């Protein structure tokens, strides 16, 4: 009987891998086609420049980190809608600490990361050990973090060079790419493409989480819990602890994303990152992560972020379309991938 269970689990794992691969290929192909069309249609407006492509990473560095964390939670069959409010609280802590109190940047960054770990531990404990619905728990976290942001300060605070030269220097640092990738602008000046340190942070995050999910026991446990929680428990996996750690990881990555977000905006306010949780969920779903859990990967989520970023860039480059068209296009893509996921789920159930 034990051998049959192991065989069934192996079969399910193979189907999960197949679903992962196919959904990832679809996402990558969609991004390549979408960006290629943009390069052709808007070549005269600079869309084909290397810097335009790199700006997708610069602008969305924080979202990439958050989407990685969201992917880990969704792999267990959960959800985390508190990430936008947590980012707002992180930014306010940094802005208030540096801009008003004059605290040094390093201790504040460590404190923000610690806040993320504690925040995720509380949510993970409520979801994993008390078995409260993830949506309810993280909605409470959403209201709490947004409320605490206002408690810290209701005004918008900017982080200036005078307030914290170190953090300001990090935010404005540029990592230049080889000169042959540059181009000459309308004024005859050669523009060498560059990225920000936040992009390096985001890419390292993607690589680390990819390796964690693929090669560690914890990563395999996330897939197993999301694929079939009962089977995972029968295999000896600690389901409650796995869920707890998933939310801790998600909030920790969210705090890393909050630091990247703050480096991009150099400010903190109560209204920051509103709707950010929906962007992260949409990116993960478009990247191939199943809402029911058990299937997904951070590489797909990375391309999901790039797809939504490309949509906004295309609308902005057009210049004649309202910004709301980007939301409409994202919603259409989201519906397409949800339907696609339903088809995969149907095929998976039929093959059992």
Over 50: is that where the pLDDT of 4 sits? no
Per-residue confidence (pLDDT) for residue 199, from 0 to 100: 96
Q: Compute the mean pLDDT over every residue in the chain, rounded to the nearest whole number.
A: 89
Per-residue confidence (pLDDT) for residue 351, from 0 to 100: 64
Average pLDDT (28-37) is 93
Over 50: is that where the pLDDT of 127 sits? yes
Q: Is 152 left (phi over 0), alpha (psi -120 to 50) or beta?
A: alpha
Q: Using one digit for the tens of pLDDT, what is the confidence trace for 132-171?
A: 999 999 999 999 999 999 999 999 999 999 999 999 999 9
Residues paired with 208 in a beta bridge:
none
Q: In the chain, what is the straight-line distance between the N-terminal and C-terminal CA atoms, in Å? A: 17
Name the pTM for this structure: 0.91
* Rounded Cα distance, 33 and 35, in Å: 6
Extract the runs of DSSP E, i.e. beta strands, from the chain: 157-158, 175-176, 183-184, 190-191, 194-195, 267-268
Top-confidence range, 10-24, 151-165, 170-184: 151-165
> CB count, 10 Å around CB of 37?
13
* pLDDT confidence band for 7 (50 / 70 / 90): very low
Query: Which residues, including other chains, have CB under 8 Å from residue 39's CB and lie 6 or more apart?
Result: 47, 48
- Angle, CA of 237, 230 and 337, to the nearest 5°: 100
Q: Using one digit for the tens of pLDDT, what is the confidence trace for 109-124?
A: 999 999 999 999 999 9
Per-residue confidence (pLDDT) for residue 16, from 0 to 100: 45
Q: Using one digit for the tens of pLDDT, what is the confidence trace for 57-92?
A: 999 999 999 999 999 999 999 999 999 999 999 999
Over 80: is that where the pLDDT of 9 sits? no
Q: Using one digit for the tens of pLDDT, what is the confidence trace for 198-254?
A: 999 999 999 999 999 999 999 999 999 998 888 888 888 999 999 999 999 999 999
């Amino acid at each position: 009987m034990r051998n049959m269970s192991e065989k069934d689990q192996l079969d399910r794992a193979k189907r999960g891998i197949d679903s992962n691969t196919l959904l990832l290929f679809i996402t990558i192909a969609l991004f390549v086609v979408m960006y290629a069309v943009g390069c052709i249609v808007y070549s005269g407006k600079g869309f084909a420049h290397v810097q335009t492509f790199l700006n997708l990473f610069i602008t969305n560095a924080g979202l990439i980190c958050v989407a990685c964390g969201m992917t880990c939670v969704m792999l267990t069959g959960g959800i985390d809608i508190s990430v936008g409010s947590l980012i707002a609280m992180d930014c306010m802590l940094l802005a208030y600490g540096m801009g008003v109190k004059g605290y040094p940047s390093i201790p504040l960054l460590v404190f923000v990361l610690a806040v993320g770990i504690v925040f995720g531990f509380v949510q993970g404990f409520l979801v994993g050990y008390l078995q409260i619905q993830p949506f309810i728990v993280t909605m409470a976290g959403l209201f709490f973090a947004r409320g605490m942001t206002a408690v810290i300060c209701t005004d918008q605070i900017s982080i200036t060079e005078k307030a914290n030269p170190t953090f300001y220097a990090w935010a404005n640092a540029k990592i230049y790419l080889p000169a042959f990738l540059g181009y000459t602008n309308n004024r005859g000046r050669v523009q060498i493409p560059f990225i920000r340190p936040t992009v390096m942070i985001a890419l390292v995050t993607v690589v680390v989480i990819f390796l964690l999910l693929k090669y560690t026991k914890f990563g395999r446990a996330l897939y197993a819990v999301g694929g079939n929680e009962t089977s995972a428990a029968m295999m000896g996996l600690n389901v409650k602890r796995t869920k707890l750690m998933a939310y801790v990881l998600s909030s920790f990555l969210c705090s890393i994303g909050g630091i990247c977000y703050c480096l991009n905006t150099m400010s903190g306010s109560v209204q920051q990152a509103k709707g950010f949780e929906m962007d992260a969920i949409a990116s993960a779903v478009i990247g191939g992560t199943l809402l029911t859990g058990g299937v997904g990967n951070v590489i797909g989520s990375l391309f999901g972020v790039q797809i939504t970023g490309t949509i906004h860039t295309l609308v902005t480059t057009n210049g004649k379309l309202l910004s709301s068209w980007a939301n409409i296009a994202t919603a259409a893509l989201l519906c397409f991938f949800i339907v696609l996921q339903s088809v995969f789920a149907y095929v998976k159930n039929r093959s059992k």
